[in-house]
Every structure is written in structure tokens, then in C-alpha cells.
Structure 1
């Protein structure tokens, strides 16, 4: 099974209702020992930081065309803890409710992320943001550049 390293970051200017973007880096080493790197990014007219953190992971998984072992690295505790602290399992059991019977935010993206990550063996890793981690810094640059670009699309919430 191919091993992929996925680095992700999201950005929102004027969170929660300003422009935002995500940046994703996929890295893998082929059977000849050659490193392959793919960078993905997109900016949105109006979004939130959490939605962009999630989109970064979603597009990374959706770019994979076969089942892989994927190590995800993100500075988003929202994203990482949802899996490592099993929040998402509780939300699903409660019909996408949390805490005091409040609805979970971003259900559309959580469902899309679960579907995209489903075929893969995933390890979720938190990294401290803005701390010199090379790929995290690059993802941050991709995300902020996308958020500041003129090529912004609508963040359509489907639920």
C-alpha cells in the first residue's frame, strides 16, 4: 500500500465571514525512491477558518486515486481532535448533535471528509502552527495566497 504524507492548512481573513483559502501538500516516494510532491489550493469569497482546514484535508483525499496509508499533518486541533478524540463518532451517534443537543457545525464537510478518507488507512497528526514546520509553513502560504487572490469561488454549504 502506497504511503502518502498529507500536509494541510486553512486560512480565513476576517473569520467567520471573510475570504479564505486552503493549502494542501501531498508527498509520496515511488518504488524507485523518487519523491513526488503535489500542491493544491483554492480561495473562497466568504468562509470560515474551520471550513478551510477541513477542505484542505478533503481535497487531499479526493486527489488520491487508490487506497493509501495516509499520514495527515495539520495545525487544526478542530480537525485532528475530531478523529483522535473520537468526537466525530459521538456526533454521528447523536445524529450530528454535540454537547447540549446543539447541531454540529460544518456537517456537510464532515460527511464529505468521512467519504473521502474512507478508503484509506489514516493517521491524524497535530503540528504546532507557525512554528517553522516546513510543509505547514508552505501550506499556510498556499492558503493565504489563495484567500488573497482574485480567483475566489463560493463556499456552498449543502446541509
Structure 2
């Protein structure tokens, strides 16, 4: 059985640590056994989020899009996510019932649990590399579309509410 090597890039417009509006996108690339390059991805827009929560949501979705066990390199600039994985906090949180070192509930525990579940299906490593300019442009375009969709949906909801 061939194991695919997949590179996942995560980018967001979120500014840590503030909570607010942000767009984010994931892009996964891999080469099929026939040598064909495959690229897929998705963008999200959230009205109220943090960088950590948005990055976790994107990682969960990217890993969930993989149909077979893969060797995955996840690339993000989110320091909290990188630290949690590289310093083995994730493993410790799981062992401690999703409590941090101060015995307080881990922030975004449900998202962390979902990411951990998806990671169990793959061999996952983390890095902070950014995508090439071509991919970054593609991801920015998808984030712009996600924002436009979110604004359209919000406007349509406001129109429905004003009819009553």
C-alpha cells in the first residue's frame, strides 16, 4: 500500500491574540501514484474567532479531507498550535482530561480533540513554512470568496429579519 506524502498549508487573516472577524484557508498538495499533482483546499470566514480556533478548524478540515492514511506535513504560522504539538502539550492535555498545566480547561478543547482524532489516522508533522506565491494567491482568492459569501449571507438574513 502506497502512503501519500501530503503537504498542508494553513493561512489566516487573524491577528493573535485578539478575537474578531477572520478568514482562513487550507490547501493540500500531493502527488498520485501516477505522478499527477493534486491540489485541493477550502476557505472559511468567521465573524467571531481567534487565530488558534480558526487554525484548528482548518487543520481538522484539511486532515478530514484525506481519504487514506497519509504522511502529512502541516504548515502554519500559528505559534500556539506549533508549540502545543512540538512541546507535546496535546499529548499531556489528553492524558490530563483536557486540562492545562494550571488544571484549567484547555481553550478550544473540542477543536483540539477533533484535530487529535484526525491526526491519529495519519503520520503528522508540523512546520511553519509558507506556501509559494502561486498557492498563497490562490488561497487569498478563496478567502476573499468566503468573505463575500459570508457578507451575502448576513445581508440576506438581515433582509429576512426586516420583513417581519
Shorter-chain-normalised TM-score: which range? 0.7 to 0.9
- The Cα of 1:72 is off from its aligned counterpart by 1.0
Distance 1:143 1:47 in 2: 18
Q: Quick one: which of 106, 115, 123 aligns to 1:104?
A: 106
Tell me the SS of whatever aligns to 2:47: strand
* TM superposition score normalised by structure 1: 0.80
Q: Which runs of 5+ in 1 are unaligned?
A: 154-159
- Higher share of residues assigned strand: 1
- Higher share of residues assigned helix: 2
Matched positions, count: 150
* TM superposition score normalised by structure 2: 0.77
- Correspondence for 1:30: 32
RMSD: 2.7
Q: Which runs of 5+ in 2 are unaligned?
A: 154-164
Change (3 A) 1:142 1:54: farther
User: Are the counterparts in 1 of residues 43 and 139 from structure 2 also a CA contact under 8 Å?
Assistant: no
User: Are the counterparts in 1 of residues 26 and 42 from structure 2 also a CA contact under 8 Å?
Assistant: yes
User: Are the counterparts in 1 of residues 70 and 122 from structure 2 also a CA contact under 8 Å?
Assistant: yes
